A and B are shown apart, each in its own frame.
Chain A
Amino acid sequence: MTNSGYILEMHNIRKEFPGVLALDDVQLTLKKGEVHVLLGENGAGKSTLMKILSGAYSKDSGEIFIDGSLTEIQSPAHAQELGIGIIYQEFNLNPYLSVAENIFLGREPVYFPGIIHWDRLYREAQSILDSLNVNINAKQKVESLGVAMQQMVEVAKALSLKARILIMDEPTASLSNKEIESLFKTIMHLKQQGVAIVYISHRLVEIFEIGDRVTVLRDGKYIGTKPVSQLTREEMIKMMVNRDLDDQIPKVKAEIGEIVLQVDNLNVNNRLKEISFKLRKGEVLGISGLMGAGRTRLAKTLFGDEIITSGRILIDGREVTLKSPRDAINVGIGLVTEDRKSEGLILDLSVKHNISLPNINKFIKGGVLNFKKENAVADEYIGKLKIRTPSRNQNTIYLSGGNQQKVVLSKWLCSDTKIFIFDEPTRGIDVGAKTEIYQLMNRLTANGAAIIMISSEMPEILGMSDRILVMRDGRIAGELSDSEATQEKLMNLALGEPYEAAV
């Protein structure tokens, strides 16, 4: 059943993580000398698929053929032997070693074991660099190179391992236009040498410029593979997002009241630019966008955890200075962080101690903690939010994701929060608990709270939001009302470029 025209075939790849089906029957084929674009939203399964290809994860089922023969990729080292190289967004280079040392790290040519053959090391490294047509001296320290050149060192390293399949994960994310141009030249060069490239990027313009074929994934499923030349931008976006929204998100609209939060022309250190918006009582304001668009930074800024360069934040019409999370808590803002394990909870503290932490003064009388009150309040929230825990004294590390999230929520409920910022509120949470979180949000807005909800999940953001802001490159790229928002429009704004031209 194998077609000898392909250097790599991945068939029916399936990978399940506890509670999540990350890949479901996914296909990918690579031809010699092609640039194959892997396209999909955040969390579509691109990274998981590439981790399986590069040996970091093992698949649950499915078949991988390399050069037509069935192959089990055992480990990253095995993947290297098979000629599969991967260049992550975060480079794995030692900045204090030379370019040549980095390229051959752990595989240095030697006279005899233990004694490095420096001449050969530099000569071989230089010849690889020269073959890439890049102007890098093999003896240079990596720290003296810019990002684009460091990336070239990664490419050289992969080639030194005789990579025939090269995976590039958002290679242009931190490059300037000129650097992108030179990267593309290198990619063309690699194509001519017969290297097959898996190219992950969200920049559709680049895909049209450099891609040969594109494979689209959505929610861990294989959507299709087509030649880039046969697709329009709109068709690509449709493939990425065109899912049925028959979901049961139990949104209950609340009465929208007066403005509780107003942000005027907020700038943070070139990371957030000219952000302005208003948030009303009873409203869920969704914030959509790709990873790295600045959504989490905006959340942290509103929570007093970033230094504001310029701009104003008004709460109930009064300007406030938010210099620390404490300031934000005091004006009624609560942040449910993206990563509850590293930022939301103290895992070695009990449920009750986590709940009382942000507003511990409530439980202090004459300088002493009032355990009775603390216990009572903890029990109250365990009951109200149906937190499944053997007791209030259980350390939160032993709770499931959904129940941990409910503990985080209790922290803010207990602190009289009026403005809730949810950053990916249902990430890593099972379906049942998700519904409970949505119902809690409904209850919050019904009681007059306002919610900012950052989410990468389209059904969630479309289902729960009264209004949606789309962020891109630290800016608000657009605003859509509940009725006009569609998956295509959100993705179009998040990706940028032509949409703006069309407007």
Chain B
Amino acid sequence: MKQLFNQLNFDQMRQFGTFFGLLALCILFTILSPHFFTTSNLLNVAQQSAIIAVISVGMTFVIITAGIDLSVGSVLAFSGVVMASVLHSGLPIPIGILVGLAVGFSCGLVNGMLVTYGKIPPFIATLGMMSIARGAGLWYTDGRPISGFDDTFRFLANGEIFHIPVPVIIMILVYIAAHFILTRTKMGRYTYAIGGNVDAARLSGINIKLYLNIIYGVAGLLSALAAVMLTARLNSAQPIAGIMYELDAIAATVIGGTSLFGGKGTVIGTLIGALIIGVLRNGLNLLGVSSFIQQIVIGSVIIGAILLDTNLKNSKS
């Protein structure tokens, strides 16, 4: 075991640490509550985590490029209501979903263009989009939810394939694809390169603008995919959906070991991060801890993870 650890670099150690953190939480809640470690509850956690987990994938790509996307929650709401209106108009479900995804991708692309061509810091560009997409969703629906969809659509939330809930399957597929892209393709390599050193990346012939636009676009697209999952689950698309989701997504990403300075991170880590948040919420609920206190706990975990990160790193170097 010791030998194994000696072979790992800091980032791999970090990932193990996060995983053990998740394990420790599970053990803790198993001891504290008889209802935690049951198949139905664990699937419940996975299902509840799936939406944040999907959004966090886009966030991970963006943060690896040393950016940030604050608009994911608003983009989710906006693309959700547009999709819902298309579904209500009687067009086929795939068309509705595609329109929703297109709206999400477009919002993300606008973010990307503001960052690359407008040279606006990502924080500001996506803060603007956060407000614009939220407003657009409210305006489009006049502030009212669009509810009631047929069972075929709702299968995306309530269905099961081989006893596994569909949202969990979607999440797993997204993570497999993202992990593959990040580790096995040009796009992934460029993502790390841009975040690691944008000047060196440019001088290595990488088209920075193109790849940043794709990455922000995909982050928007994944928000829209989360909108599909959320709308199906609630049987309603709400213009006020997804508020504060950006914080959960950033938290999952950062707890998962992605550096806010860019250049480092994995989606596996992010998945563990999203599950840590999901388990925390679920466990605290089971223990009857109020949602107010839950916010305090989750905030503390985020800060604790970063504190540990920076200080471990400093002590190492």
Contacts and interface: CB of A to CB of B under 8 A. Distances in A.
B183 to A, nearest CB: 8
Contacts of A54: none
Nearest to B202: A325
A358 B186 CA distance: 11
Contacts of B263: 346, 348-349
A358 B204 contact: yes
Interface in A316-363: 324-326, 328-330, 335, 337, 342-349, 353, 356-361
Interface string A157-179: 00000000000000000000000
Interface in B222-271: 263-264
B291 interface: no
Given A345-B197, A347-B196, A348-B264, A369 B203 contact: no
A344 B20 CA distance: 37
Interface band, chain A: 20 to 34
Contacts of A326: 205-207
Given A324-B207, A369-B184, A346 B202 contact: no
Interface string B184-218: 11100110110011011111111100000000000
Interface of B: 9, 184-186, 189-190, 192-193, 196-197, 199-207, 263-264
B205 A353 contact: no
Contacts of B9: 395
B264 A357 contact: no
Contact of A357 (B184, B185, B204, B207): B204
Nearest to A344: B200
A213 interface: no
Given A335-B203, A369-B184, A360 B264 contact: no
Contacts of B203: 303, 305, 325, 335, 337, 343-344
Contacts, number: 75
A178 B196 CA distance: 46
Q: Which of A325, A337, A411 has the most CB of B within 10 A?
A: A325
A343 B184 contact: no
Nearest to A339: B199
Contacts of A359: 205
Given A303-B203, A326-B205, A348-B263, A357 B193 contact: yes
Contact of A349 (B184, B192, B207): B192
Given A305-B202, A325-B202, A326-B205, A349 B186 contact: no
B229 to A, nearest CB: 27
A347 B199 CA distance: 12
Interface in A296-313: 303, 305
Given A343-B199, A348-B264, A360-B189, A368 B205 contact: no
Interface string A102-135: 0000000000000000000000000000000000
Q: Which of B9, B197, B203, B263 has the most CB of A within 10 A?
A: B203
A298 B259 CA distance: 35
A369 B263 CA distance: 19
A111 to B, nearest CB: 40
5 contacts: A328-B205, A330-B205, A346-B192, A348-B264, A369-B189
Nearest to B187: A367
A364 B200 CA distance: 21
Contacts of B204: 325, 357-358, 411
